[in-house]
A and B are shown apart, each in its own frame.
Chain A
Amino acid sequence: MELSLPGVARATGHDGHELLFPDRARYHDVVAAHREAGFEMLSSLTAVDYLGHPGRTLPPEVAPERFELVAILLSLGQVKRVRVRVQVPEHDAEVTSVWDLYRGAEAMEREVFDMYGISFTGHPDLTRILMPEDWEGHPLRKDFGVGRVPVQFKHAPGPR
Chain B
Amino acid sequence: MTDRDHTATDAPAGVDPESPFVRETYEGAQELAPRAATATEELEREVGSVLRLPESHGVDMSDIDIEYPDDETMIINMGPQHPSTHGVLRLMMELDGETVLRTKPIIGYLHTGMEKTAEELTYQQGSTNVTRMDYLSPLNNELVFSLATEKLLGIELPPRAVWIRMLLSELQRMSSHLMWLATNGMDVGSTTMMIFGFRERELVLGFFEKTTGLRMNHNFIRPGGTAADLPDGWEDDVEVILDNVSSRLGDYDDLLTGQPIFRERMEGVGALSADEALNLSATGPILRSTGIPWDLRRTMPYLAYDEVDFDVIIGTYGDNFDRYAIRLNEIRESVRILWQVLDKMPPGDYRVQDKKVTPPPRARIDESMEALIHHFKIFTEGFKVPEGEVYVAIESPRGELGCYLVSDGSSKPYRLHIRAPSFVNLQSLPVMMHGGLVADAVATISSVDPVMGEVDR
Contacts and interface: CB of A to CB of B under 8 A. Distances in A.
Interface string B94-123: 000000000000011001010110001000
A129 to B, nearest CB: 6
A134 B30 CA distance: 11
Contacts of B120: 146
A104 B427 contact: yes
A93 interface: no
Interface string B20-47: 0000000111100000000101101100
Contacts of B57: 100
B108 A129 contact: yes
Contact of A81 (B41, B391, B426): B391
B281 interface: yes
Contact of A41 (B281, B408, B415): B281
B389 interface: yes
B424 interface: yes
Q: Is the interface of A mostly helix, strand, loop or mixed?
A: loop
A17 interface: yes
A79 B300 contact: yes
Contact of B45 (A14, A72, A124): A124
B397 interface: no
A26 B113 CA distance: 32
B51 to A, nearest CB: 9
B44 A124 contact: yes
B400 interface: yes
A103 B50 contact: yes
B294 A76 contact: yes
A133 B28 contact: yes
Contact of A14 (B3, B42, B151, B279): B151
A115 B393 CA distance: 22
Contacts of B419: 43-44, 46, 72
Contact of B389 (A13, A81, A133): A13
Contacts of B393: 43
B281 A15 contact: no
Nearest to A81: B391
A18 to B, nearest CB: 12
B402 interface: yes
Contacts of A139: 113, 116
Nearest to A44: B419
Interface in A74-121: 76, 79, 81, 83, 100-108, 111, 115
A64 to B, nearest CB: 13
Interface string A39-63: 0111110101100110011000000
Nearest to B408: A53
A84 B388 CA distance: 15
Interface string A4-24: 000000000111010000000
A135 B2 CA distance: 10
Contact of B390 (A14, A35, A128, A129): A14
Contacts of B44: 124
A44 B417 contact: yes
B306 to A, nearest CB: 13
A14 B424 contact: no
B392 A48 contact: no
A76 B111 CA distance: 32
A70 B404 contact: yes
Interface in B146-168: 151-152
A120 to B, nearest CB: 13
A39 B187 CA distance: 36
A127 B38 CA distance: 14
B1 A102 contact: no
B103 to A, nearest CB: 13
B426 A132 contact: no
Nearest to B111: A130
A116 to B, nearest CB: 11
A35 B387 CA distance: 31
B278 A52 contact: no
B113 A104 contact: no
A72 B281 CA distance: 11
Contact of B54 (A53, A100, A135): A100
Contacts of B45: 106, 124-125
Contacts of B49: 103
A48 B408 CA distance: 12
B64 to A, nearest CB: 13
Interface of A: 13-15, 17, 35, 40-44, 46, 48-49, 52-53, 56-57, 70, 72, 76, 79, 81, 83, 100-108, 111, 115, 124-125, 127-135, 139-140, 146, 149
Closest 8 CB pairs of A and B: A133-B28, A104-B281, A44-B419, A53-B408, A130-B108, A130-B111, A46-B417, A124-B45
Given A128-B28, A130-B111, 15 more contacts: A14-B151, A14-B388, A43-B281, A79-B299, A83-B391, A103-B49, A104-B280, A104-B427, A106-B50, A107-B424, A107-B426, A125-B41, A129-B108, A130-B457, A134-B28
24 contacts: A13-B389, A13-B391, A15-B151, A40-B279, A43-B281, A43-B419, A44-B424, A49-B415, A56-B406, A57-B387, A100-B54, A101-B54, A103-B54, A104-B424, A107-B423, A107-B424, A107-B427, A124-B44, A129-B108, A130-B108, A132-B108, A133-B28, A146-B116, A146-B120
